[in-house]
Amino acid sequence: MKKLLALALTLTLAASVFAAEYPEITIKELKPLIGSPKVTLIDVNGSESFNSGHIPGAIDYQASQDKLASLLPKDKNALIVAYCGNPRCKAYLQGATKAEKLGYKNVKHLTAGIAGWKDAGEKTEAAK
């Protein structure tokens, strides 16, 4: 019984470590930053989705992952926001983790994703 409890505790702890992931940023917090140099957005929805509509100024992670370092700001404390489809989507972790591995300290997650952004009536832009 003790071994079973220890295993359950270990699994719970491991799950909580992975559940923390990255701090959330809300649409309300992000919206005033759009279009300014204060934020860099990473869209991790894939190029097809990106091309049809993304948050203005976002980087297409799928098309840019190999050169992401050159597209992100030099300031490692700059705000980097990764997002994907919706609150259940975890694809954003690819972009957020890559930014963190590149040394960025202020990486956040737009939990609402592109679906929440659109549902809130916010503007998107198509790829150029």
Is 42 inside any structural domain? Answer: yes
Range of the domain at 56: 22-119
Is 12 inside any structural domain? Answer: no
Give dist(CA 18, CA 120) in Å, integer: 28
* Contact criterion met (CB below 8 Å) for 54 and 44: no
Q: What pTM was estimated for this model as a whole?
A: 0.84
DSSP for 24-39, please give it.
EE-HHHHGGGTTSTTE
Provide the residue-wise pLDDT of the chain in tens; the chain has 128 residues. Answer: 555 444 444 444 443 334 448 999 999 999 999 989 999 999 999 999 999 999 999 999 999 999 999 999 999 999 999 999 999 999 999 999 999 999 999 999 999 999 999 999 999 999 87
User: Given this model, what pLDDT does residue 3 score?
Assistant: 52
User: Interior CA angle at 17 toward 104 and 3, to 5°?
Assistant: 155
Is 92 inside any structural domain? Answer: yes
Is 69 inside any structural domain? Answer: yes
Is 124 inside any structural domain? Answer: no
